[in-house]
Structure 1
Amino acid sequence: MTFQPIVPAGGYAGWLFLERTLEQQQESFDESFPVKRATDYFRENISDVQTAEQLVNDREMLSVALGAFGLSDDLGNKYFIQKILEEGTIDDGALANKLSDSRYAEFSRAFGFGDFSIPLTATSVVSDSIIDRYQRQSFEAAVGEQDNQLRLVLNVDKAIDDVTSSASSTDAQWFSLLGNAPLREVVQTALGLPSEIASVDIDQQLETFKDRAESIFGTDDVNEFNSDELQEKMIRLFLIRSSVSAGAGISSGSIALTLLGNQ
């Protein structure tokens, strides 16, 4: 039986509880039977995988591989995933680089089938890294079954790390952030930007996000989003603004005071 995360409340109060108990809850989740069975199988077999075709034809391993990047919905799309892996990320024309969702490029890069003559699957670093990501993503998914807003904020730290490590220039990092759907939702909401902004020209989106980040966060440098203080502010604003949008029963006076205190 899988350990069910304890989430006694939603919104910012729920986040504070989850943040305080996260390490203990994650450990219990990782040791639950279904999770441990999946990760043990992956650890024992991934070093034997030499091609993308081998990986996609092993449903148990592919489930962990995709789950590590929040791409579990693609488990049945074997041809698509094999193409993502085989083309790699070095060539600008590779499929993973053409997709708006940057998680596919991160997924392909992690295994190296299309980027290196020898894939990265033979290294213990890949095994440990993928398993760590899978455990975290699976826990987040379990939290999301109770409160999807809390699932999104649990993903923030790792997603920002992925974005900042995938590119060096500020604009390239912003484009990567805008292509990471879960992280984009958090940042967009925290900045008070409407969902309709996704329909405008991508360069205009970039400038709008950067200007708003400078105003709200005091910087448009994505590297600075790695700081605990800025992430906490981002998460707080996201959860408060989400509660306002959902009409979650928070008094208007309390909302106004909290938002003013975070401008």
Structure 2
Amino acid sequence: MTSAISIGISGLAGWRVLQRTETRQIEATAKDPVIQRATAYFRENLTSETTAADLVGDYKMLQVALAAFGLEDDLPNKAFIRKVLDSDTGDSKSLANRLSDKRYLKLAKEFQNLADTEATSNMVAEAYVQQQFQKRVGEGNEAYRLALNARKELQGFAARTSSDRTMWYEVMANETLREVFEGAFGFSSSIANLSVDRQLDEFMSASDRILGTSSFAEMSKPEVTDKLITRYLALSQMQTSVSSNRYSAALALLSR
């Protein structure tokens, strides 16, 4: 695959450059021969008869499917993924529904309804390219990868009918999305030591105070999402600068 996507500058200035060049960068990612082969293989082998066992048993197909949903780290956990795919998505007590990270439920739903394999293939291929783009951005700047992921996830929340409290629980269970909110709200890692309900109250209170809303219908609006990401990147850059200055100061003292 191609090398990491490097913007050349960091912080908010680099984020603005990334936004301006994003479409071109995604197109370049999609044209990568390795990615083209991966998506072509998936398209060629997905049929309306594809079962959970078929998908889990085909490493190449599974890698594309999981990566499309941001679950590539679960590639070695085939038995677990098989159980997720075989879950009854209509049963609130099934594994896919009980998992707090709802990406697994989305995965199960997508591959339990393969009546229109072309639509599924197109969706998975597009999502796979997006994830590979984010991955390459992350190799150059991890904060930008997290910001891109947060923007995408919040866009998806816009069409949801779940309650805001339910979606906040999902944010808290989604490691990459949670990191952006924690960073934007100035939370330390110690917040994880609080009870889940207390954490929820803290997240919602901070969102109302900083973003002006704790409603995902509002947060999914471009201007509010941009406010969240801008604050996250600004505070992230400040922390990086402080750490760098401390390191430089320590080196100066040691060199005396």
Q: TM-score, normalised by structure 2?
A: 0.88
What is the CA distance between 1:5 and its match in structure 2?
A: 2.1
Deviates more, 1:168-177 or 1:239-248: 239-248
Q: Which amino acid aligns with 2:226?
A: E
What is the CA distance between 1:248 and its match in structure 2?
A: 5.8
Is 1:185 aligned to residue 179 of structure 2?
yes
- For the Cα contact (< 8 Å) 2:39–2:64, is it kept in 1? yes
Using the alignment, how far apart are the partners of 1:49 and 1:75 within structure 2? 22
1:101-159: CA deviation from partner (whole Å, max 9, x where unpaired): 332222222222xxxxxx32643221111111110011101111111111001112221
Q: Which amino acid aligns with 2:135?
A: A
For residue 46 of structure 2, give the secondary structure of its aligned residue in structure 1: helix
- For the Cα contact (< 8 Å) 2:164–2:215, is it kept in 1? yes
- For the Cα contact (< 8 Å) 1:96–1:108, is it kept in 2? yes
1:203-240: CA deviation from partner (whole Å, max 9, x where unpaired): 11111111111110111101111111111111111011
Using the alignment, how far apart are the partners of 1:248 and 1:7 within structure 2? 22
What is the CA distance between 1:249 and its match in structure 2?
A: 7.8
For residue 145 of structure 1, give the secondary structure of its aligned residue in structure 2: helix
What is the CA distance between 1:166 and its match in structure 2?
A: 4.8
For residue 13 of structure 2, give the secondary structure of its aligned residue in structure 1: helix
Q: Which amino acid aligns with 2:7?
A: V
RMSD: 2.0
For residue 124 of structure 2, give the secondary structure of its aligned residue in structure 1: helix
Larger Rg: 2
Is 1:244 aligned to residue 238 of structure 2?
yes
- For the Cα contact (< 8 Å) 1:161–1:226, is it kept in 2? yes
Deviates more, 1:46-55 or 1:234-243: 46-55
What is the 5 A alignment of 1:1-263? 1-2=1-2, 4-112=4-112, 119-120=113-114, 122-247=116-241
- For the Cα contact (< 8 Å) 1:48–1:122, is it kept in 2? yes
Residue ranges of structure 1 left out of the alignment (5+ in a row): 113-118, 252-263
Deviates more, 1:191-200 or 1:145-154: 191-200
Residue ranges of structure 2 left out of the alignment (5+ in a row): 246-256
- For the Cα contact (< 8 Å) 1:163–1:176, is it kept in 2? no
What is the CA distance between 1:88 and its match in structure 2?
A: 4.0
Using the alignment, how far apart are the partners of 1:151 and 1:33 within structure 2? 22
Using the alignment, how far apart are the partners of 2:111 and 2:101 within structure 1? 18
1:3-35: CA deviation from partner (whole Å, max 9, x where unpaired): 642421222222111111000011011011001
Q: Which amino acid aligns with 1:70?
A: G
Using the alignment, how far apart are the partners of 1:27 and 1:248 within structure 2? 36
Using the alignment, how far apart are the partners of 1:180 and 1:89 within structure 2? 19
For residue 232 of structure 1, give the secondary structure of its aligned residue in structure 2: helix
What is the CA distance between 1:201 and its match in structure 2?
A: 1.2
Q: Which amino acid aligns with 1:12?
A: L
Q: Which residue of 2 aligns with 1:255?
A: none
Larger RCO of the pair (alpha carbons < 8 Å, separation 6+): 2
Using the alignment, how far apart are the partners of 1:175 and 1:167 within structure 2? 14
Q: TM-score, normalised by structure 1?
A: 0.86
